[in-house]
Amino acid sequence: MRIAITAEENNGLDSKVSSHFGYAAYFILIDTDNNQVHSVTGIVNPFCGSHGCGQVGRFLAEQGVQVMLSGGMGRRATQALQGYGIEAITGAAGNVRETLQRYLTGELRGAMPCPEEGAHGRCHD
């Protein structure tokens, strides 16, 4: 399974999770099998700050992402990801390693879209 996590920096599993999907500078891509990490790759988000939800969804689908973990995201982003078959999950915090562990153990599930588009992190402070 390929999991993507929004990040503020490109430091692999030690990267700080970005609090808002639309403003994530990087995506950390993690390939897992039976909850074991096989590879970790950081990539630049070419649409950072643009709120081009459909473009980002397509970009992530092209990368083979199946699950997207973020601090928060708006309803349009959640719907765009789902339209590409990507499960959107919000509530991520801390660093990528901690967030991944929370997801793999079942603690982090579901998406609660920000109540107003463009909240840019305020919905999950």
What b/e sequence results for 99-113 when a residue is b if at least 16 CB atoms lie within 10 Å of its CB, and e otherwise?
A: bbebbbeeebeebeb
Asked if residue 72 belongs to a domain, the reply is yes
- Measured distance CA(18)–CA(93) in Å, rounded: 8
- Structural domain range at position 72: 2-115
Give mean pLDDT, residues 3-21.
Answer: 96
Number of domains in the chain: 1
40 assigned to some structural domain: yes
CATH number of the domain where residue 24 is located: 3.30.420.130
Convert the pLDDT of each residue in 37-57 to its tens digit. Answer: 999 999 999 988 665 556 899
User: Does the residue 66 lie in any domain?
Assistant: yes
Residue 99, in any domain of the structure: yes
Nearest alpha-carbon partner for 13 in 69, 58, 88: 69
Is 62 part of a structural domain of the chain?
A: yes
Query: Residue 98 is inside which H or E element, if any?
Result: helix 96-104
Instruction: Report which of residues 122 and 91 the model is more confident about.
Output: 91
pLDDT digits (tens, 9 = 90+) for 21-38: 988 999 999 999 999 999
Helix (H) / strand (E) containing 70? strand 67-70
- Determine, yes or no, domain membership for 121: no
